[in-house]
Amino acid sequence: MKIALIAHDRKKDLMVQMTTAYKEILTEHQLYATGTTGLRIQEATGLPVHRYKSGPLGGDQQIGAMISEDDLDMVIFLRDPLAAQPHEPDVTALIRLCDVYEIPLATNIGTAEILIRGLQAGFADFREIVHEMEHKPLSF
């Protein structure tokens, strides 16, 4: 599965802790992240991460484009609800796209942990099944 990992500045340490704790699960998936978050994850875990620009410079929108093309299966976005974000409209648009395209989304560590453990248990396999069905030729 393709998983996006995004974290606001005051949540980056928490993202690194989470990806370190669940490295064995995440290693089975393709990881995408915004700039600094992706770098921090790579340095701490050694996991391969495709890095986009930082969020305020368009990284959120790049991940949003993946969602709109149905090329992303899950988003973990550790948001800082107590800090104003200069790119808040981009954040809101990303969350909206997850709802429009029915992409599982976690915006806090509690939900993120449930999604990651759900990956391990196969609870998100429906995304792969849907993709297989879309690419299967119709037989009459």
Is 139 among the domain residues? Answer: no
State how far the Cα of 96 lies from the Cα of 25, in Å rounded to an integer.
27
DSSP per residue, 32-73: EE-HHHHHHHHHHH---EEE---GGGTHHHHHHHHHHTT---
Report pLDDT for 133: 62
Is 42 among the domain residues? Answer: yes
Is 140 among the domain residues? Answer: no
Is 61 among the domain residues? Answer: yes
Q: Which residues, other chains included, contact 40 with Cβ-Cβ below 8 Å and sequence gap of 6+?
A: 12, 15, 16
Q: Return the amino acid letter for 61.
A: Q
Is 81 among the domain residues? Answer: yes
Report pLDDT for 42: 97
- CATH at residue 116: 3.40.50.1380
**Sequential pLDDT tens for the chain (140 residues):** 999 999 999 999 999 999 999 999 999 999 999 999 999 999 999 999 999 998 888 899 999 999 999 899 999 999 988 877 777 778 889 999 999 999 999 999 999 999 999 998 888 777 666 666 665 555 55
| Residue carrying structure tokens 């620009």 | 53
Active-site residue flag, 80? no
Report pLDDT for 89: 79
DSSP per residue, 70-96: T---EEEEE--TTS--TTHHHHHHHHH
Q: From the candidates 60, 71, 99, 125, which is the catalytic residue?
A: 60
The one-character DSSP state at 137 is P
Report pLDDT for 137: 58
Report pLDDT for 84: 74
> What is the extent of the structural domain holding 87?
2-134
Report pLDDT for 127: 67
Contacts 24+ apart (CB under 8 A), 51-54: none
Is 37 among the domain residues? Answer: yes
State how far the Cα of 54 lies from the Cα of 20, in Å rounded to an integer.
21
The total domain count for the chain is 1
Report pLDDT for 139: 56
